[in-house]
Amino acid sequence: MPSLRDRFEQWCGRGPTVSSDAGGRVNLIGEHTDYHEGFVLPAAIDLRTTACAAPRPDGVLRIRSEAVRDEVQIDLGALAPRARTDWRSYVLGPSWALIGEGIALPGADILVDSQVPFGGGLSSSASVEVCLVALGARLAARELDPRTIARIARRAENEFCHVPCGAMDQMASACGREGHAILLDCRTMETRLVPMPADWAIVVADSGVRHSLAAGEYAKRQRECASGLGKLASRRPGIAAARDLTVDILASDGEALSEVERRRLRHVVAENERVWKAAAAMRGGELGAMGELLWASHRSLAADYEVSCAELDTLVEIAAGIPGIAGARLTGAGFGGNTLNLVRACDAQFAAAELADRYKAKTGRLSAVRVVIASRGVTVS
Ligand code: GLA
């Protein structure tokens, strides 16, 4: 396959002046906690989105996606959030968000390609947004730090694509560091790097399921939690987000909640605690302890937060029977996509092959199973 630069030249008849790349992400633990101002522990990965571009003098933005083999063209002045969200929204949103930040973008030809499986819970959308925000800023001769890139990329997702996501994906994609996970406090946006022990490996297994209802269910979880939180906050001042709840508060005031609200909030409280324990387990190289936290996270996501599906549960059950897999759980929003499996590095290839074989035997479905590596964040040159 020719390089992206060569493909750009073939497409435009001239070379690119700027390139960028940004990782997908795997979330080790801390699922459905970011929009509650809680804690998450993701890592950028070596499945990446890459882009290159050259400015054009006519104020036109022309973007070609190699992944969908299609292109979109628009006057910069006509950029506005669209009613329908599709691949065009994800490639146009970054330019709209940059302009919204007062950054004077020139017209440009932009070619973008991605290795991150679309809709697989590995942040294909955030990696595109982060990659294109970095690219656009450089075209506008502006230096933005990775956090600012992440903030603008999230703005594109929230306001242009109408997806009410939290801060995790864009932060991981932009701020990743090789060989590290990022412990992120989604209230203060403070980050701490947590080294990935050298003898641990991450295997992601794709359920092959892409649930179209995910977007609606995601917003529904936010509403359910907000409704429960409102009841608790009216009794106790100082509760601003589910992040402020504790096991004790849920135990003493829980009767004010509906059964669903109680389960949803119980997940958030327990998951936030697991993130801290997981960071400690990683720092201590305690694979067994980390694995237990992953299984517990999956159970909580499946039973209390109800964001799993039969295929993800099957993958996790299969993982539990494979020697060498210390822990597994769904990663990302859920309802389909990938599971994360934590293994000793020396067992990674065996575990990956077993997962694929056993999933096929049990469900008839093919699973793309990949060993992924904690990688750097966004780069632009
Ligand atoms: C999606 C969102 C994130 C986060 C996860 C669930 O990936 O984009 O902000 O909420 O789901 O943890």
Q: For the residues 110-120, what does the mean pLDDT come to?
A: 94
CA 348 to ligand 1 centroid distance, Å = 26
- The span from the CA of 84 to the CA of 56, in Å, is 27
Q: Whose CA is nearest to atom 11 of ligand 1?
A: 333
pLDDT at 350: 97
Q: How confident is the model at residue 83 (pLDDT cuts 50, 70, 90)?
A: confident
Q: Is the pLDDT of residue 69 over 60?
A: yes
Which of 29, 32, 37, 125 is the pocket-test mutation for ligand 1 (most atoms within 8 Å of CB)? Answer: 32
- The span from the CA of 220 to the CA of 166, in Å, is 14
79 and 156 in contact (C-beta within 8 Å)? no
Residue with tokens 């297994």: 205
pLDDT at 381: 96
Query: What rounded mean pLDDT belongs to the chain?
Result: 96
Q: For the residues 373-380, what does the mean pLDDT come to?
A: 98
Q: Is the pLDDT of residue 214 over 60?
A: no
Ordered DSSP codes for 137-190: HHHTT----HHHHHHHHHHIIIIIS-----SHHHHHHHH--TTEEEEEETTT--
Higher pLDDT among residues 118 and 288, named by residue: 288
Rg (CA), the chain: 21
pLDDT at 367: 85
pLDDT at 212: 60
Q: Whose CA is nearest to atom 1 of ligand 1?
A: 333
Q: Whose CA is nearest to atom 8 of ligand 1?
A: 165
- The span from the CA of 300 to the CA of 307, in Å, is 9
Higher pLDDT among residues 85 and 17, named by residue: 17
pLDDT at 266: 98
Chain Cα centroid distance, residue 148: 17
Q: What is the pLDDT of residues 244-299, one digit of tens each?
A: 999 999 999 999 999 999 999 999 999 999 999 999 999 999 999 999 999 999 99
- Considering 21, 109, 113, 169, which one is annotated as catalytic? 169
Q: What is the pLDDT of residues 20-53, one digit of tens each?
A: 999 999 999 999 999 999 999 999 999 999 999 9
pTM for the model stands at 0.97
Handedness of CA 221, 38, 197, 48 (dihedral sign): positive
pLDDT at 119: 86
Please list the helix, strand and coil fractions of the chain in percent, rounded to the nearest 5, in that order: 45, 25, 30
pLDDT at 84: 83
Q: Sort 179 into a burial class: Cβ within 10 Å, 0-12 / 13-18 / 19+.
A: middle
Percent of the chain with pLDDT over 90: 94
Residue with tokens 């396959």: 1
- The span from the CA of 240 to the CA of 357, in Å, is 47
